[in-house]
Amino acid sequence: MTVFRSPETSVYELLNTYDVHHTPLIVGVSGGVDSICLLAILAQYAPTRHLDLHVVHVHHGIRGADADQDAAFVRDFASRLGLPLTIRHVDIPKLAAQPGVSVEEAARQWRYAILGKEAQRIGTPWIAVAHNADDQVETVLMHILRGTGLAGLRGMRPLTWYAHLRLPLVPDQQQPDKHNLWLLRPLLYTRRKDIEAWAREKGLAYRFDRSNLDTTYFRNRLRHEILPLLERVNPQVRNALFTTAELAAADFDVLHPLTQSAWAALRLDEGAGWVRFHLAGWRAQPLAVRSGLLRDAVMTLRRELRDIGFEHVERARQFLEAPNMPAGSEYTLPAGLVIRREYTTFWVGEQDAGPAWDVPQVEAPFDIPGPGTYPLGNGWILRVTILPREDVGDSWRRNPNPWVGYFDANTLAWPLRIRVRKQGERIEPLGMPGKHILVSEIMINAKVPRWARARWPLLIGHDGTIYWIVGIRQAHTGRITERTKRIAILHAERAR
């Protein structure tokens, strides 16, 4: 049993499925067998479906005289069908000259931009291109080899909203308004060999692009070398890969709305270049939703990216799930983005963007003469309590909150003082007697972002002893021992 369909059946079913009738329709035609077949079948259905076909040919400036002959061939074919034709020229070799840009990718993006512009010019939301089932198989295999999730595993879809097309190589002023455009792939369920057989049966001539034989292109290596090798192992591998894409698309259609719902429920606010989410709510989501929300955040903020790698998403997820990561910690993402973790929230954004950091930031030094409540800055307070040891019990041993510090009240050099660090200051960390480490080094190791370090609160004795890098590390001096009679409890928290 096969999932593939004849050319006429594939086109007819997709036109019906998406209710394409009584409308102008842009048809991208290269002159190859796929696009010539598509145009011929659409012309066959146009009268009964009331389709006003407009042919668009994009001359990529790649193959010299051959490309000129392609354009002439398409002009002649459109003329014989009595259809209007637009030919647009674009210098792809020049546009692909920048580092890291392939000719294939530059051509793809500019072709979609030109087709979209032409659709807007004639006032239609519909654009048809001739991707076939073998193109789909190659796309899915390409994604598998590069590493992919459900979004990539589903490959191309028979109908794609233009807003989902990422065209960063095309300047904004040359891109269409993508929100009211749809890309239709009527031949997506038809094998290339069946398209060629249909063209022979109808006596259709077409152009052959010799660059399709060039195996320096990744897709061509898949087509001419890797897929034939796989077919020796499994003669039905194309059917299997195509079916996998259909199943992945069905699963994606169920899963992605869950991610979108989580986004709506957990997004607290956003601004230019950043978006902030509720941390505990995010942690409560299923793994796929947690990962999907992070991926969507990056792709929303960086429309020019076609994808973000699994490794980046996985490490970002682990960063947010780590139990004792200090507020203000940061994880670097691709494309100039970071995740900054706050006390009860986290946000994804550009390095120098984002909301005010949800960590204490000291405005000016102040003294702590004894119990009470003191402002720590940036909407935080410090509550100071002194209790007899017997009233505290052993809770100080099981303290899970890095923002609560327990000290021997009788050994502290009162009055205490809250201030920011000084250059070269060191602390003797709890459990490391005799070893003095730079405060700045501890902040760096705790992943406190550099812009938060300068105003991070330190708890100091009147003799200059550093007792606590608040929320990060206590000192060995001032610790609770067997001789401790009174315990000072200092609790840094957001003001309610």
Cα 67 from Cα 325, distance rounded (Å): 58
CATH number, position 467: 3.50.40.10
Of 244-253, 264-273, 298-307, 352-361, where does mean pLDDT reach its minimum?
Answer: 352-361
Q: Is residue 202 domain-shared with residue 330, that is, in the same domain?
A: no
Sequence-ordered list of residues with C-beta below 8 angstroms from that of 470, at least 6 positions apart, any chain: 360, 376, 382, 403, 405, 418, 456, 457, 458, 459, 490, 492
Per residue in 146-202, pLDDT (tens digit) is 878 888 899 999 999 999 898 988 998 999 999 999 999 999 999 999 999 999 999
Say if residue 209's pLDDT is above 80.
no
Asked if the structure places residue 391 within a domain, the reply is yes
In total, how many domains does the chain have?
Answer: 3
- Domain stop point among 350, 374, 405: 350
Per residue in 325-384, pLDDT (tens digit) is 877 788 999 888 999 888 788 999 987 666 666 789 998 999 999 999 999 988 899 999
Per residue in 77-133, pLDDT (tens digit) is 999 999 999 999 999 988 888 777 788 889 999 999 999 999 999 999 999 999 999
Q: Report strand pairing: 182-184 vs 159-161.
A: antiparallel
Would you mind telling me the total number of residues written for the chain in this entry? Answer: 496
User: Could you list the residue range(s) of the whole structural domain that residue 375 is in?
Assistant: 366-494
Asked if the structure places residue 240 within a domain, the reply is no
Read off φ and ψ for residue 79, nearest 5 degrees: -65, -45
Q: Is residue 388 domain-shared with residue 473, that is, in the same domain?
A: yes
Q: Is residue 343 domain-shared with residue 442, that is, in the same domain?
A: no
Q: Is residue 346 domain-shared with residue 373, that is, in the same domain?
A: no
Q: Is residue 411 domain-shared with residue 265, that is, in the same domain?
A: no
Exposed/middle/buried for residue 97 (C-beta within 10 Å: 0-12, 13-18, 19+): exposed
Entry pTM: 0.72
Cα 465 from Cα 477, distance rounded (Å): 8
Q: Is residue 110 domain-shared with residue 209, that is, in the same domain?
A: yes
The edge-to-edge listing of strands for the beta sheet with 473-474 is 366-368, 416-419, 458-460, 466-469, 473-474
- Domain stop point among 289, 320, 350: 350
Average pLDDT of the chain is 92
Q: Is residue 265 domain-shared with residue 370, that is, in the same domain?
A: no
Asked if the structure places residue 361 within a domain, the reply is no
Exposed/middle/buried for residue 9 (C-beta within 10 Å: 0-12, 13-18, 19+): middle
Q: Is residue 58 domain-shared with residue 149, that is, in the same domain?
A: yes
Q: Is residue 127 domain-shared with residue 222, that is, in the same domain?
A: yes
Q: Is residue 272 domain-shared with residue 329, that is, in the same domain?
A: yes
Q: Which pLDDT belongs to residue 354? A: 66
Instruction: Identify whether the C-beta of residue 189 lies closer than 8 Å to the C-beta of residue 10.
Output: yes
Q: Is the dihedral of CA 82, 88, 93, 99 positive or negative?
A: negative
Sequence-ordered list of residues with C-beta below 8 angstroms from that of 402, at least 6 positions apart, any chain: 324, 326, 471, 472
Q: Is residue 413 domain-shared with residue 470, that is, in the same domain?
A: yes
Q: Helix, strand or coil for residue 90?
A: coil
- Domain stop point among 233, 265, 284: 233
Q: Which pLDDT belongs to residue 357? A: 63
Q: Is residue 188 domain-shared with residue 226, that is, in the same domain?
A: yes
Asked if the structure places residue 296 within a domain, the reply is yes
CATH number, position 180: 3.40.50.620
Sequence-ordered list of residues with C-beta below 8 angstroms from that of 59, at least 6 positions apart, any chain: 67, 68, 70, 71, 87, 88, 89, 90
Asked if the structure places residue 360 within a domain, the reply is no
Asked if the structure places residue 241 within a domain, the reply is no
Cα 304 from Cα 58, distance rounded (Å): 22
Helix/strand/coil percent split, the chain, to 5: 40, 20, 40
pLDDT over 70, % of the chain: 98
Asked if the structure places residue 468 within a domain, the reply is yes
Mean pLDDT for the stretch of residues 465-491:
96
Asked if the structure places residue 464 within a domain, the reply is yes
